Chains A and B, each alone.
Chain A
Amino acid sequence: MKSVPLLLKFSVRHLIRQGWQTILLIIGILLGVAVVIAIDYANESSKKAISLSSQSITGKATHQILASGSGIPEAFFAEMMRTSVFKEASPIIEGFVNVIEFDQQAILILGIDPLLDFPFRQYYGSGDNQLSQLVAIISEPNSGIIAKDLAEEYNLSLGDEINYVFEGKPGKIKIVGLIASEEPIVKESLKGLIIADISTAQTAFNKIGYLDRIELIIDDPNQEKVIKNKLLPGLVIRATSEQNTQLNNMVAAFQLNLTALSLLALVVGGFLIYNTMTFSVIQRRELIGLYRSLGFYRSEIFFMIIFEALVIGIIGTFLGVLVGIFLGSETVNLILQTINDLYYVTTVKSVSIPVASVIKGTLLGIFATVFVSIPPALEATQVTPRTAKIRSGYEEKVKRNLLYLAILAIILFIVSYYLLFSPYFQNLWWAFGATLLVVIGFSIFAALGLFFILPGLSRKLKKYFGLIPGMAARELYRSLSRTAVAVSSLMVAVSVTIGMAMMINSFRYTVSVWLQETLAGDIYISVPNQFSNRSSAFIDEEIVKNVFGYPDIDKIDTLLTINGISSFGDLQINVITNDEIAYERIFTKTVSPIEEIWENLESGQILIAEPLANRFDLGVNQMLALETPAGKINFKIVGIFSDYTSSQGYIMMTRSVFEKFWDNQAVTAISINLAPDKDVNIAVRELKSRLSQKGQELLIRSNQSLREDVLVVFDRTFAITNALRFIATLVSFIGILSATLIILLDRKREFGMLKAIGFRQKELNQLVLTETGLMGFFAGIFAIPTGIVISLILVYVINLRSFGWTIQFYLDFWTIIQGVIIAMLAAFTASIYPLRKLNKLKPIMVMRDE
């Protein structure tokens, strides 16, 4: 055992001597780790931002009372307080506003009654003095309290007024209090808040007579039942924990996807490390044989290789952590933007670096490096002093093993098929696991493919292109142990980038086709708010009337988007007047012919969006129960339609049915079809000037510009996926570079020999370029089916399961060609350095050793 330090010294020296190889390895690990950490960091931060944002909303409440499709009548609250049904209760009116002084940042105005809310939130501190001061906001209309940090950041002080825009309408709040807190969490969540009196909020948000929510602190389980029995129809009581779970579930699938994709980058990195370590062992067979003949144990050789991996792993991981933190901080905003677009308005932006992410990434990086080095390390222990010199022995063994590998690959395919389609494995992780197995299976097939193709190819090349190309192919075949590993690793790397790109393209293609079908109006009017394309802000009644009075209209329809509550939790309800809806949606399932759908809807049935159907396993003809002010009502589902606006899905109901149960005539969007000879752009301009002085900011968009806006959000959503794909491509490029480099450098002696027997420099170049070109080519070619399968899994299994969207698969040839080009380009680039070295090579220098 005393010899171990000596061996470790050998291996460190080996790493230093192999400068390029080591650096490339480190970069590979660095990128893998950086991506994992960046995504994990960004995910954790966004999770925290969500929980802080919601914490600032829910406070210490154990339960909440919510209304389905309208507000809570405020008289109900007073009634419950006066009859002792509520003990600790706080009524809330809230709304997101954009504050001009805060650079248009979205911020929540939390309208509370300080006297009732005092026990609910930790912001107020304690002490009766605070309370008696807080009371002042009751009697001063349009006053509010903000965080001291926020005020300092924007140079505001007590007594200043801030201007905000709520649902397109301006408003003012006078700052009468500044909250300072030492607690970092409270500090952060306070930054997204303006605390105002409930009367101020009710007036500002035009919710006179209603409440948005009632928060409760209940410690007696019986009390919940008592309250439940007293609730008006259309109201529900829900535990806060349940509310948060709903919120987290919404975002979970999205985040899991990112995590899995980031791990895919690590897998790619792992393949490359495996590849390089295997080479490094093969390269040193003689040396290892020598160590063995000197009397080192097998176990010592094993640990030597592992030690090397560990050294590289630690260096690569350390650098990866640094890069990862940097990338992560850039990514947080991207992820938050997407979450804001799709799910939930977060008002908290900056979050500190989660230590857990860094530790996770570090362990993962080091473990992965060591783990993938185990097979080459074991291989190294097989080297005996006697076999060390004979490479052919190794090659023979590899070829014998091919059969077993083929069987293994088939087993992997079967297992992954099972994982993907069995109802027992619905969790997303299984699907990602299956993807990994498929990839490994394909990499084995790539090796097999080489084994069968190369001999024939060699003959063909010799016949049509001459001796040297043929020789190059045979050379690859002869050293299959190395070429196969290299080609299949490269193949994996390239296939991942192809698969991801193809998934994104399919998705984008599907969405743009769907937009064309769905957006049948010429002009759309809505109120800008935090959700980019899903406004739930009401348009002023007067404006609606005005729009209806616009001449040259062929057809005009209104939409009301509102939040309802079903037995499955919160649901979006879209209330429509468009009687041609059935012709403007792509149905995945319907009960009746398209012509009869409107009739069915008018008779009280509903349509649901596909993600909703998938989320709760709902089918046509089934009933969906909704809480309404008229009690719980069952609605029959008459059809399921494709939709990509949210991963939550929604219900579609006609206005006349809605108004039977709800007392709400509001409108959130208007769509207009112009008379046939009218110009859309002129109409948009006219409507804009017509409505500009009405006191409410509006989004008036033509069909074309709305479609573009939707695609902008789409591209934003996939910005990270694209970035991940780019990094995976970079990793694979580096991998191909290093693998090719090693193979060529390893064969220095062979090339010297060829030179000695009369190969001209040009011929040698031709040989090397053909070899690397072929490797890149095969990696690219094998990556095509693998990439297609990966994207099929992403499209039909993973996306469907995590977002509920059925995407039309779109085979994009440019993506495929791109993959092959990347592979070949990398291979050629890799040959530049060895070729320059070879050109300087003096045959005598290599021959001397023989």
Chain B
Amino acid sequence: MNKKIIYFGCLILFAVLIFILVRGNEPVQLNESEILFLDDQESLENADYKKAIEVRGFDFPGDLGAHPEYLTEWWYYTGNLLTEDGRHFGYQLTFFRRAISSKFEASSASSWTSNQVYLAHFAITDTSSNQHYVFDQISRGAAGLAGTSIDPLFSIWLKDWEVVQLEDNLFQMKAKNEKIEIDLLLTDIKGISLHGNQGLSQKGAEAGNASYYFSQTRLMTSGMIRIDDEKFEVNGFSWMDHEFGTSTLGVEQIGWDWFSIQLNNETEIMLFQIRENDGSISQFSSGTVIYRDGITENLEMSDFNIEVLNTWQSSDRITYPGKWKVTVDKLDIALEIIPLIEDQEMNLFFRYWEGAVQINGIFEGKEVSGYGFVELTGYAQSMQGVF
């Protein structure tokens, strides 16, 4: 028989063998799985959460802790810090709490049982290199993984991110991952300021479209910031917002613009304006001025004006305001607010812009400057239902 045929035969056999061998190691390709869920989750109307309706008294440090009988709650730490040679960093460490069921009873002996979920956002703005680093973590509020404590002093943590009250006015903040880290000591200089009507901050027309809201507006801050392997000694001021409620936003409201302003005359201003579906500004927008001595003055919607001077567009064409002029005529305040860098978007589980800003202008006729933080929600997605 022809030798060629034999060779050919061998070749085919060889090929078949190779085929078998290779086939055995075929990589597994995975398609998406999809889970269909039982649609029996309670609607907000049926839910049994408490609402922010009446003025209540606050007791600290007790009320620094969580209020799980309300649907949502957050602890917002933001700050502007400088190194000795003037390099600027902004930071944000926020803890969110959300209840997932109001009909929950801790009947089980398991310490994992819970109806609370905690979420945390951690960001650093490195102004000089025009970088904004953003991370988040999520956990159930149980089994020691996340939660708050007020016994004897306040602490809040989510996995390895935490804020711990060390003494009456002293707090330690730690958060880290491979990319960034903060380790800061915060000293509360002014104490706690209540917003709105003794801490009841009305956001919409309906009863319960409100939250309980108070802040520590001047936390003297010092400590360390790490980016990759580089560590920086920093000093500056932080701001803490603590807010909780159930149906905070009204039906027509899609988001808010929030300003925390720390001026070099030891005065702070908090302002927020709520935007309606139709583009108008809600009459429930308000603000607070916190004077040097800690005395506060409420601002109504008619007391202030926020003018957008510029806009910034994200890479996927979502437009945020990018520069503002804030005026409070009755107090002779006119401030220009400029983001330290443009892209300080928090593109996470829910999407918003939260960034460090620089401030210049006039306060009661005198020139002032300072730093602050601005939060812009509802531009990428409606906040309705989220908060």
Chain A residues with a Cβ under 8 A of chain B = 1, 4, 74-75, 77-79, 81-84, 113, 115-116, 122-126, 128, 130, 133-136, 138-141, 145, 148, 158-159, 175-183, 185-186, 197-200, 202-203, 208-209, 299, 303, 355-356, 359-360, 363
Please measure, in the bound complex, the distance between the C-alpha atom of A156 and the C-alpha atom of B142, giving whole angstroms: 32
Q: Which of B1, B23, B34, B109 interacts with A125 by CB under 8 Å?
A: B34
Pair B33/A186 contact, Cβ less than 8 Å: yes
Mark interface residues in B109-123 (1 if CB within 8 Å of A CB, else 0). 111111101000000
Please measure, in the bound complex, the distance between the C-alpha atom of A75 and the C-alpha atom of B110, giving whole angstroms: 12
Within 8 Å of chain A (Cβ to Cβ): is B205? no
Mark interface residues in B26-41 (1 if CB within 8 Å of A CB, else 0). 0011111111111111
Pair A115/B115 contact, Cβ less than 8 Å: no
Pair B115/A138 contact, Cβ less than 8 Å: yes
Pair A141/B1 contact, Cβ less than 8 Å: no
Within 8 Å of chain A (Cβ to Cβ): is B159? yes
Listed residue (A136, A139, A175, A299) with the most chain B CB atoms within 10 angstroms of its CB: A139
Q: Which of A84, A158, A202 interacts with B176 by CB under 8 Å?
A: A84
Contacts A140-B101, A182-B31 known; A203 to B110 CB distance under 8 Å?
yes
Residues of chain A with a CB closer than 8 A to B139's CB: 115-116
Pair A136/B16 contact, Cβ less than 8 Å: no
Please measure, in the bound complex, the distance between the C-alpha atom of A256 and the C-alpha atom of B312, giving whole angstroms: 67
Contacts A82-B159, A183-B31, A303-B1 known; A136 to B109 CB distance under 8 Å?
no
Pair A202/B110 contact, Cβ less than 8 Å: yes
Residues of chain A with a CB closer than 8 A to B51's CB: none
Residues of chain A with a CB closer than 8 A to B115's CB: 138-139
Give the Cβ gap from A351 to chain B, nearest Cβ, in Å: 14
Pair B349/A133 contact, Cβ less than 8 Å: no
Q: Which of A74, A139, A177 interacts with B104 by CB under 8 Å?
A: A139
Pair B159/A199 contact, Cβ less than 8 Å: no
Please measure, in the bound complex, the distance between the C-alpha atom of A778 and the C-alpha atom of B107, giving whole angstroms: 79
Residues of chain B with a CB closer than 8 A to A130's CB: 34-35
Contacts A4-B1, A175-B38 known; A84 to B112 CB distance under 8 Å?
no
Residues of chain B with a CB closer than 8 A to A74's CB: 111-112, 143-144
Pair B36/A180 contact, Cβ less than 8 Å: yes
9 contacts between A and B (CB under 8 A): A74-B111, A78-B143, A82-B157, A176-B40, A179-B33, A181-B32, A182-B31, A183-B30, A208-B109
Pair B113/A356 contact, Cβ less than 8 Å: no
Q: Which of B20, B35, B100 interacts with A138 by CB under 8 Å?
A: B100
Pair A125/B145 contact, Cβ less than 8 Å: no
What 6 new A-B contacts, CB under 8 Å, besides A177-B37, A202-B112? A74-B144, A81-B159, A133-B35, A136-B101, A158-B38, A200-B108
Within 8 Å of chain A (Cβ to Cβ): is B343? no
Mark interface residues in B1-19 (1 if CB within 8 Å of A CB, else 0). 1100000000001001000
Residues of chain B with a CB closer than 8 A to A123's CB: 33, 35
Contacts A82-B162, A198-B112, A209-B111 known; A124 to B35 CB distance under 8 Å?
yes
Give the Cβ gap from A159 to chain B, nearest Cβ, in Å: 5
Pair B108/A125 contact, Cβ less than 8 Å: no
Contacts A138-B115, A139-B104 known; A199 to B110 CB distance under 8 Å?
yes
**Chain A residue with the shortest CB-CB distance to B39:** A158
Residues of chain B with a CB closer than 8 A to A199's CB: 108, 110, 112-114, 142
Residues of chain B with a CB closer than 8 A to A185's CB: 28, 30
Please measure, in the bound complex, the distance between the C-alpha atom of A180 and the C-alpha atom of B36, giving whole angstroms: 8
Contacts A140-B101, A356-B24 known; A78 to B36 CB distance under 8 Å?
no
Q: Which of A116, A177, A303 interacts with B38 by CB under 8 Å?
A: A177
Pair B34/A179 contact, Cβ less than 8 Å: yes
Pair A181/B117 contact, Cβ less than 8 Å: no
Residues of chain B with a CB closer than 8 A to A75's CB: 144
Pair B38/A203 contact, Cβ less than 8 Å: no
Contacts A115-B140, A128-B349 known; A139 to B114 CB distance under 8 Å?
yes
Pair B33/A356 contact, Cβ less than 8 Å: no
Within 8 Å of chain A (Cβ to Cβ): is B160? yes
Residues of chain A with a CB closer than 8 A to B34's CB: 125, 130, 179-181
Please measure, in the bound complex, the distance between the C-alpha atom of A208 and the C-alpha atom of B34, giving whole angstroms: 31
Q: Which of B30, B40, B143 interacts with A159 by CB under 8 Å?
A: B40
Please measure, in the bound complex, the distance between the C-alpha atom of A363 and the C-alpha atom of B32, giving whole angstroms: 38
Q: Which of A138, A176, A198, A202 interacts with B37 by CB under 8 Å?
A: A176
**Chain A residue with the shortest CB-CB distance to B137:** A115
Residues of chain A with a CB closer than 8 A to B112's CB: 74, 113, 197-199, 202
Residues of chain A with a CB closer than 8 A to B138's CB: 115
Give the Cβ gap from A145 to chain B, nearest Cβ, in Å: 6
Pair A139/B100 contact, Cβ less than 8 Å: yes
Pair A78/B144 contact, Cβ less than 8 Å: yes
**Chain B residue with the shortest CB-CB distance to A142:** B108
Pair B107/A141 contact, Cβ less than 8 Å: yes
Pair B145/A81 contact, Cβ less than 8 Å: yes
Give the Cβ gap from A310 to chain B, nearest Cβ, in Å: 11
**Chain B residue with the shortest CB-CB distance to A74:** B143
